[in-house]
Structure 1
Amino acid sequence: MKVNIDPNSGFCFGVIKAVETAEEHLQRGHELLGLGEMVHNEAELERLENLGLKTVSIEQFPDLKGKAVLLRAHGEPPSTYRIAAENSVQLIDATCPIVKRLQEEMKKAWQSGKDQGVQMIIFGKPLHAEAIGLNGQVDNNGIIVENLDDLQTIDARRPAHLFSQTTMDAGKFEKIAEKLREMYTETGQNLIIHKSFCRQVSNRMKSIKEFAASVDVLFFVASKNSSNGKVLYQTAQSINERTFFISGIQDIDFQKIGIDWGKVETIGISGATSTPPWLMHEIARLIENAFDLT
């Protein structure tokens, strides 16, 4: 039996930047606060908190005058920067460059089209930090949609732009885009579709399929709060039905899984873009010890 860790799994470069920025400040002995969950992974959050990172909310800004607050990779709405300035809070901006460019693109499209009644459609999760940040770029006038049913709120007699949260499923986005094309073909109104995915995340969709097919059993490691994790897990399971979602070693019970482990030749470990590599290696060691592979 072999245990293989997916070489394409783990932190995307946006999360790497945010985590490294936090570590750099904390290792210097500086007090550092983080606005919201720095990364959608409980184990990594606990590690950062043990280094000294404290999580705060924007409602606490009036009490944080002169403090340093780190902005996570997901991005923030303009109101966050305004409230920070009003309360003399020092922001350390670790917004992912891809998200930053998307925010600027959306803001530009909104500014040039709002007087003509343009609709800003965002394919995303309404409560996700990135979607909230994107909506802020259009003065919170965005229409956030998750599925085809949500398109009933779109007025195809008015022009529209379609954007996407960077970590959403590309296949579902295409279905949304195709339905909108049909609606706008009937009215003849202007529709502009922006494929605003993170290429690194999109490439993970292809690589996770290949990795899932290459192993007998796959443990997919992610937080239940990870949007990207849910998409990648579902993709992996569609290829390999013996794919199991876990958040950490506490979720592994080899007997309950109900597999004849004696017939398993390869066990794979993969994770979301918010899954720390150290956690996947920890799980690999657990499996190796359980089956005496060391």
Structure 2
Amino acid sequence: MPIVGGFVFPHGAITLDPNTRDFNVVPAVKPTSKQDSINLHSAMAKNAESLVNLRPDLIIFSTPHGLRLKNSFLFLSNLKAKGSAEWDGDWTEFIAGFNIDVDSSNSLVTHLVGTQTPKETLPLRWGEVIPWWFINNAAENAGFQLPPVIYIGQPSKRSQEGMIPELLKLGKNIYQWTESNENVASKNIVVVISSDLSHYHSDDPTSPYAFNEVATVFDEYIKQWAEIDMNSSNNQTSYDKLITKAGGCVDPAGSCGYTGLVTLHGILDEAVHRGSNFKAEVLDYSAPTYYGMMVNNFINSS
């Protein structure tokens, strides 16, 4: 079974250095913001360690930010990608990167649409760098050379609810490719999703987004999905939480990354249909300021 795990990392920059960060300048700050961010930092480090412990040979990475197109999926075929978590002139010291598996990327795109992807050389941004900063650190601490990556940039200007059937199909096709391609079928593959949840949690005047009560509802459905083991017995329950419930309110909830979660679900669901089982673990969830962040994984227990 080539898919050995799926990992979800948020991309909020306050998780990078919460012990030294001045939270007085953070929008929509709360009394619990610092401790929440410290907990998320620890959870992301632990999640990265779990990923490295699987010793993957290939990583499939999905991001809602950075390199992307308005209406289509973007696959990179340049050799390397690197950048900082820069946001409004801050976080520039947090740098991360990875190598691109050009052959596998082109093969996957050919499998999906029958053509190859153009080359791109743009730098990474916070949506990629923040998860990869933790992954790079975990790999360095373990003395492990990270494998190359297939990069998927999620579309930026489409209804996330409207994309659900396409995203589930994409995930299914990605898994089928991992089994049918002789060059990757014997590899250990992990999937990494960069995703924040609803951005409408705060009614603080410094929040860049207005409060919406659907934020808590949406995030709760996502948490429930993330706590469910992926196996043949739980398929329908898992689908109902992520697709029916969360999908029904995703657009008004203002999540960035739901598309990646649905893609991951499609991959894991197809793996389950072919005999795999995945143990679910939520390491942490909170909304330190105005948006929700969750750290979780699904590890193949077959």
The TM-score, its normalising length taken from structure 2, stands at 0.30
By relative contact order (CA 8 Å, sep 6+), the higher-ranking structure is 2
Q: Select the structure of larger CA radius of gyration.
A: 1
Q: Which has the higher helix share?
A: 1
The TM-score, its normalising length taken from structure 1, stands at 0.31
